Amino acid sequence: MKNNYLFTSESVTEGHPDKMCDIISDAILDAYLEKDPNARVACEVTATTGIISVMGEITSIATVDIGSVVRETVHNIGYKDGKYGFNAQTCAVISAMDRQSEDINMGVSYSFENKERERSCDECRGCDGMLEDFKNSVGAGDQGMMFGYACNETENYMPAPIYYAHKLCERLSFVRKNDILNYLGPDGKSMVTFEYCDEKAAKINTIVISAQHLSDISQEKISADIFKHVINPVVPDNLMNENTKILVNPTGRFVKGGPCADTGLTGRKIIVDTYGSMGRHGGGAFSGKDPTKVDRTGAYAARYVAKNIVAANISDKCEVQIAYAIGVANPVSVYVNTFGTSHITDDEIARMVKVVFDLRPASLIEQFDMRKPIYKSLAAYGHFGRDDLNVAWEKIDKIKDVRNFLNIK
């Protein structure tokens, strides 16, 4: 019996109030990492009419003008002059930052594994021991569980609904910034519903696009322009037919947007950031967090593992959970679910993951080269499937190791 169903995912543009806060948080993180690669940053932002508040904990030898970073970021998003209700130059920027808790710092900087080793052996272990000391040196910055997901629905191993939702929002931003549709504002959303037939993404059932606009533009013009300049260039003809529903600004008007219409907050778009609800989520946000925070690094690692498993043709789709305890370098658990799409048991694949992939935070930071200012570019349009940014956790460089361990030729 065929399993047919509808599945929907959404994305948002840079000017969405929550996403704007994510971008500001990561812009501040990048500014610190550019000057101090070892900076500890946990930065959250709220935005409302005329006010941006920056909060959190930062421990760093660097000094950053947070106000200037905020204003430059908001300006680049598109809130330049107040035309769309928010002005990067005149808004208030309130900063309330503190240092990282010493209790947390103690566990992150000196892991449980190193404390145990120190208690059990005080002899010189040579270079190999020193390398292990380095990889064990960073404990997880918090407890928690992170999920990664991959499937073979698209070329970048992302689920089709979130893939096309992101592409539509990227295109909305492109036509606005390049004056193709110069009446569009920075705020916007997309939502894509796919029809699945026998577990395969078959066609698009519904596309919803909400785009902020100037008040003197008619709904008819906006609908026609969005279809011509946004939807058509992004969505292949074979995924739509005469029954595909297209809804553009379904309320009929979207003039007031951004932080003036809705308060923004860092970390409120975690499903947009990941897999559009196709895979589960551990609950931790990414933006504004340095790579010692496993909410970010562990989630990137879980994606890396899942993607390499699917790319190695072990399964059609794969979900990976990794769980950490604060101050402990090695994961407390690794879980794999291939949803019945593999002839190899999930338990056997999980055993492979523990051998082939080094999931300790210090090792992941090194493998993924995560102490660089790379995060602001990730804050909008997803942290995964980003072939445009060449991030290390999207590499499929473990295929041979995965297949060899599982004795697959």
259-305: pLDDT as tens digits: 999 999 999 999 999 999 999 999 999 999 999 999 999 999 999 99
Question: Same structural domain for residues 173 and 244?
Answer: yes
Q: Is 126 within a domain?
A: no
- Predicted pLDDT at 119: 53
As a whole number of Å, the end-to-end CA separation of the chain is: 32
- Which tens digits make up the pLDDT trace of 35-75? 999 999 999 999 999 999 999 999 999 999 999 999 999 99
User: In this structure, are residues 104 and 74 in contact, taking their beta carbons and an 8 Å threshold?
Assistant: no
Co-location of 359 and 273 in the same domain: yes
**Average pLDDT for 212-230:** 96
**3-state DSSP call for residue 167?**
helix
pLDDT for the residue 137 = 61
Closest CA to 144 of 366, 252, 310, 298: 298
Token readout for 335 is 């879980």
Domain assignment of residue 118, yes or no = no
Residue 292 domain-assigned (yes or no): yes
Among 222, 257, 292, residue at a domain's last position: 257
| Residue 357 shares a structural domain with residue 374 | yes
Least confident of 2-11, 16-25, 126-135, 372-381: 126-135
- Residue 321, CA distances (Å) to 303, 304, 305, 365 in order: 9, 12, 10, 18
Residue ranges with strand state E in 124-183 = 144-151
Give the range of the structural domain holding residue 222, as residue numbers without chain letter.
Answer: 5-12+160-257
Check whether residue 39 and residue 96 sit in a common domain.
yes
Whether 289 and 390 map to the same domain: the answer is yes
Last residue of a domain, one of 239, 257, 275: 257
Do 77 and 150 lie in one domain? The reply is: no
Residue 361: is its pLDDT beyond 80?
A: yes
Do 281 and 148 lie in a common domain? yes
Asked if residue 119 belongs to a domain, the reply is: no
- Bridge partners (DSSP) of residue 147 are 321
Question: Average pLDDT of 368-383?
Answer: 97
Average pLDDT over residues 131-153: 78
On the question of pLDDT at 382 being above 80, the answer is yes
Tell me: do 30 and 63 sit in the same domain.
yes
Q: Is residue 385 a contact partner of residue 154, using CB atoms and an 8 Å limit?
A: yes
Q: Give SS3 for 73.
A: helix
Give the residue from 208, 228, 257 where a domain finishes.
257
Provide the token pair at 84.
């769309």
Instruction: Using pLDDT thresholds of 50, 70 and 90, give the confidence band for residue 112.
Output: very low
Is the pLDDT assigned to residue 32 strictly greater than 50?
yes
> Which residues, including other chains, have CB under 8 Å from residue 352's CB and lie 6 or more apart?
402, 405, 406
**What pLDDT is recorded for position 310?**
98
Report the DSSP pairing between strands 144-151 and 317-324: antiparallel
**Which pLDDT value is given to residue 334?**
98
Q: Of residues 232 and 116, which shows the higher confidence score?
A: 232
Is residue 367, in this structure, part of any structural domain at all?
yes
- Structural domain includes residue 136: no
- Quick one: 151 and 275 in the same domain? yes
User: What CATH number is given to the structural domain containing 277?
Assistant: 3.30.300.10
pLDDT at 128: 53
Instruction: Tell whether 285 and 150 lie within a shared domain.
Output: yes
d(CA 158, CA 139): 30
36 and 67 share one domain:
yes
Q: How confident is the model at residue 140 (pLDDT cuts 50, 70, 90)?
A: confident
- Mean pLDDT of the region 166-184: 97
In a domain, 200, yes or no: yes
Domain count, the chain: 3
Mean pLDDT of the chain: 91
How do 51-59 and 92-98 pair as beta strands?
parallel
Does residue 316 lie within any of the structural domains? yes
Residue 69: per-residue pLDDT: 97
Residue 97 shares a structural domain with residue 244 = no
pLDDT at 375: 98
